[in-house]
Structure 1
C-alpha cells in the first residue's frame, strides 16, 4: 500500500458481490488501497442510490485529495445492459471520470488474464456470462433462489429440501440429509421444513448458509445428497451449454464462487458434466480475486 498520493494515473476497480464488496485502487503496479466490507442495502435497480453508495465508498477509501482517473464496477444483480448503463451514467456524474459498469460475473474472464471466455459463478447463487463475437454480452441463469440459481448454495438447499420431502412422501425414514437439514433449520420433523424455508426474509442468504449440510450428508453416505450434488453439477454445465447454443465461444470457462470452488465434490462433478456436454470446454478455477477483473476493465478506459 502507498502512504503518499500516487504520482501516475490511478484506476479503481470495485467488485460488488452478493455478500461482500471489494475496492482496489492501483497506480502502475502499486496498490494504493484494498478495502473489503459487507454488501448491504445494494439496489442496482435504483441507480441514483447505488451510485451514491459507490461514490461515497471511493471517496472514503482513497487517500485524502486523491481522485481516480477511471473506475470500473462489477455489480451484483446488475442483470441487463440498460440497467448497468443507467448506473454507469449516474456514477460518472458523481465522480466526473470515465466509468464502466458490468455484471459481477463479467469480472471473471479479465481477472483470469483472458480476453475471451465464459465466467461461471456458483456461490450463494449461480450465473454464467459470455460474449458473442460481435461483443454482445449474454447471460444465462442468475434468476434467484426461488426460481433458479441451480448449483449455488441456496439452490442446493432448495433442491435438498425437495428431495427430502419426496422421500418423506414415499414413506422413507429420514436419512443423513434429512436429519442434517432438520438440525440446521432447528425444526423437529420433515414437514416443518417448508415453513422454515418460507419464513426467510433474505431467501438467498438465509437458504444458502445451510448448504454445507448437503455436502456433509453426501460424505456420510446419503444417496439423496449425492443426487442433489450431481444434479447441481449438471445444471451448472447446462448454463455453459446454454451460452454455447447462443454462439458464445466457450473454450475457457473461468469458475468462481465459494460453493463450487470450496467443495471438490461439486467442482469435480461439474468438470465431468462439462466434459460430457462440451468436450472442448476447459474449466479454469479462478485464483485471482474478481476485483482484479474490475481493475483490468478500469485500465482499459484510460
Structure 2
C-alpha cells in the first residue's frame, strides 16, 4: 500500500483540532483553532466554512486526496451529518467520513464500539448500532440541556442557589462564590446578571467556580455535579436501549477530563444504572480517534 496522508478533525463547541498524519510513518502535524474563527453563523453546512476548515489541513501538508475523518459537535442527526459531508465534498476529493464528535473518543481510546460521552463546552452521548447508524441522547444546547457541560453546570448551580433562597436559607458557599464571580451582592441580582447578555462562553467560564466550591465543602455544588452525572448515565442507558453496540463507555471533553469529581460521579452513576461496561476517561486528544478512523478508509 502506498503511503498517503490522513486527516483527522475534531470540531468542538469552542476549539477545533486538526491533525495530519502519514499513513506509514504516522508522523503528525497539528493545529488548533477556535471554532468560531472558521464556522459561519449559517452552520456546518456552509460551503465557505468547510473550505476554510479544510484549508488549515492542507496547510499542514495534506492534499485533496487524503483520507479524511471529521467528528463534529452539531452532527446530531443524519440530515445534519449529510449536509456537512456535502459541504466538505465540494472541496475534498479523497475518502471522507463525517460523524458526531463523541464517536471519536472510543477509537482514540482503542475501543471499536464504545459509547462516547462528551462533557465540555457542550455535552451529549453517542453510540452506533450494529448497522453503523448513530444513536444520540442529550446535546440539546447550553440554554436548556447539555448536562455536565461547563455552561450546564453553571446554569444548574444558579437554579440550585435560587431554590435555596426561595426556602429562606442564607447564601451558602456556592452562592457566595457565584456572586463573587458575577460581581453582585444578592441572589436576585445574581439571577439578573446571569441572564443579561447570556452566552455559552460567559456561562461556561463560571463552571470552575462550582467545582472549587464542591471541593471546599459545598453540599449544594456536589449535588449539582452528582445530578449532572446521573443525567449523563441515564443518557448512556437510553443509547444502549436503542441497540448501540458497546465494549466500553469513554468520556472526553474539557470538563470531565479536568474534573476528577465529575469522573468519580460518572463512574458511580453508571454503576447505579446497572451499566457494567469498562468506564474510561480519555486523556489523549479525541482527534487521535479521527486519525484511526481515517486509516480505515484507505
TM range (shorter): over 0.9
Deviations 1:68-113 (A, max 9, x none): 4211111121221222112212212212222211111111111112
Question: What does 1:162-181 correspond to in 2, within 5 Å?
Answer: 162-181=159-178
Q: What residue number does 1:116 align with?
A: 113
Q: Is the 8 Å Cα contact of residues 200 and 207 (structure 1) preserved in structure 2? A: no
The CA deviation at 1:45 is 4.1
Deviations 1:41-63 (A, max 9, x none): 52444331331222222233327
Q: Is the 8 Å Cα contact of residues 243 and 250 (structure 1) preserved in structure 2? A: no
Matched residue SS, 1:13: strand
The CA deviation at 1:23 is 1.0
Deviations 1:120-156 (A, max 9, x none): 1111221000011222110101111111011111111
Q: What residue number does 2:241 align with?
A: 245
Question: What does 1:100-111 correspond to in 2, within 5 Å?
Answer: 100-111=97-108
Question: What does 1:83-98 correspond to in 2, within 5 Å?
Answer: 83-98=80-95
Change (3 A) 1:46 1:195: farther
Deviations 1:198-240 (A, max 9, x none): 22353x2211110111111112222211111111111111111
Q: 1:222 aligns with which of 218, 221, 224?
A: 218
Q: Distance in 2 between matches of 1:29 and 1:17?
A: 27
- Does residue 192 (structure 1) correspond to residue 189 (structure 2)? The answer is yes
Q: Is the 8 Å Cα contact of residues 240 and 250 (structure 1) preserved in structure 2? A: no
Q: Distance in 1 between matches of 2:283 and 2:159?
A: 34
Q: What residue number does 1:138 align with?
A: 135
Change (3 A) 1:201 1:276: closer
- Does residue 284 (structure 1) correspond to residue 283 (structure 2)? The answer is no
- Number of aligned residue pairs: 293
Q: What residue number does 1:24 align with?
A: 19
Q: What residue number does 1:46 align with?
A: 45
Q: Distance in 1 between matches of 2:217 and 2:232?
A: 23
The CA deviation at 1:32 is 4.3
Aligned CA-pair RMSD: 1.7
